[in-house]
Amino acid sequence: MMAELHCRWGFWMMYHRLRLLNFGDNHKRVYRIYTDMKLNLRRKHKKRLPARIKQPLPQPLHHNLTWSMDFIHDGLLHGKPFRAFNVIDDFNREILNITIDTSLTSKRVVCELDRVVEWRGKPERLRVDNGPEFIAQALKDWCGESIELVFIEKGKPQQNGYIERFNRTYREEVLDAYAFENLNQARLLTQAWMWVYNNERPHSPLGYRTPSQFLLKYGKLHHPLSGVEFPTFQQDAKFTWKSLILDATK
């Protein structure tokens, strides 16, 4: 059967091939048979995005004003791919979340944001690209009217420069530096590295202060949340960067 041999041929190509083979049926009859046999090729239409307005990338004046979010891709030692969902506070470049899994849907994004909000409080706006997880209705519903969802222009990652710069650092210092046999290894090492990044690694844009030092100096809360003046990412006492690296290099 022609359709089995040439599965990517469309109707007109098949019709003209039949004519060359001296089949006399007109195109209407051939098309009716073609559709009855469900041979129509599926056309992929690009989802049209609304116009995005270019916005400056200012230094926020306080924490929880603007969070940036993005995904980064990598793979395990045996080739299985995974993704990381990253969230930072633009004010002091602090990592608020890195979630690693093989699949991260819009509903999972909302779930992870709920967890961050529990200890950090809500941001005033979220800056994201036009990925399917971010343009999904689930995230829009989560933001509602209290959180502004800011989209960068398509193909302009520099408009989300804070998270793009962070992604490069995370890739260089963790993802490209170590080979992971499973997701748990990647999660543990990432968790420990997050503490180092926020509390020990000097950042040149912050005057060579750590994100936590910058927050303590310039980001004091006017209205403390539940008695905690500076809610920040907490270290897992069981897994420190030093112990994990020593184990990995044995």
pLDDT tens per residue, range 82-100: 999 999 999 999 999 999 9
Question: What is the reported pLDDT for 110?
Answer: 98
164 vs 210: CA distance, rounded Å: 18
Domain-embedded: residue 56: no
Q: How many domains is the chain partitioned into structurally? A: 2
| β-strands 125-128, 81-89 pairing | unpaired
Q: Is residue 112 part of a domain?
A: yes
Rounded to whole angstroms, how far apart are CA atoms 67 and 143?
13
Looking at the domain assignment, is residue 174 inside a domain?
Answer: yes
The reply to whether 143 and 202 lie within a common domain is yes
Within-domain flag for 16: yes
**Is 28 found in the same domain as 137?**
no
Same domain for 125 and 201? yes
227 has pLDDT over 60:
no
**Would residue 121 count as lying in a domain?**
yes
Using a pLDDT cut of 70, give the percent of the chain over it.
Answer: 85
Contacts of 90 (CB under 8 A, 6+ apart): 59, 60, 65, 66, 67, 68, 127, 162
Looking at the structure, do residues 233 and 164 belong to the same domain, yes or no? yes
Instruction: Specify the pTM.
Output: 0.76
Does position 222 have pLDDT exceeding 50, yes or no? no
Strands in 94-101's sheet, in edge-to-edge order, are 94-101, 81-89, 66-75, 125-128, 148-151
Question: Has residue 22 been placed in a domain?
Answer: yes
Look at residue 198 and tell me whether its pLDDT is greater than 80.
yes
The whole domain housing 206 covers 66-248
- Find the mean pLDDT for residues 47-65: 71
Q: What is the pLDDT of residue 19?
A: 80
- Of residues 176 and 49, more confidently modeled: 176
- Tell me phi and psi for residue 86, to 5 degrees: -110, 140
Q: Are residues 139 and 218 in the same domain?
A: yes
Q: Are 116 and 209 contained in the same domain?
A: yes
Q: What is the CATH number of the domain that holds 87?
A: 3.30.420.10
pLDDT over 90 at 224, yes or no:
no
pLDDT of 225 higher than 60: no
Q: Are residues 84 and 201 both part of a single domain?
A: yes
Q: What is the pLDDT of residue 57?
A: 73
204 and 83 both lie in a single domain? yes
In this prediction, residue 41 has a pLDDT band, given cuts at 50, 70 and 90, of: low
pLDDT at 179: 93
Lowest-pLDDT range of 6-10, 20-24, 27-31? 6-10
Same domain, 140 and 228: yes
CA distance 100 to 83: 6
Sequence-ordered list of residues with C-beta below 8 angstroms from that of 6, at least 6 positions apart, any chain: 13, 14
- pLDDT of residue 24 exceeding 90, the answer is no
Q: Say if residue 83 is in the same domain as residue 29.
A: no
Higher pLDDT, residue 55 or 138: 138
One domain for residues 121 and 222:
yes
Please check whether residues 208 and 90 belong to one and the same domain. yes
In a domain, 76, yes or no: yes
Q: What is the mean pLDDT of the chain?
A: 86
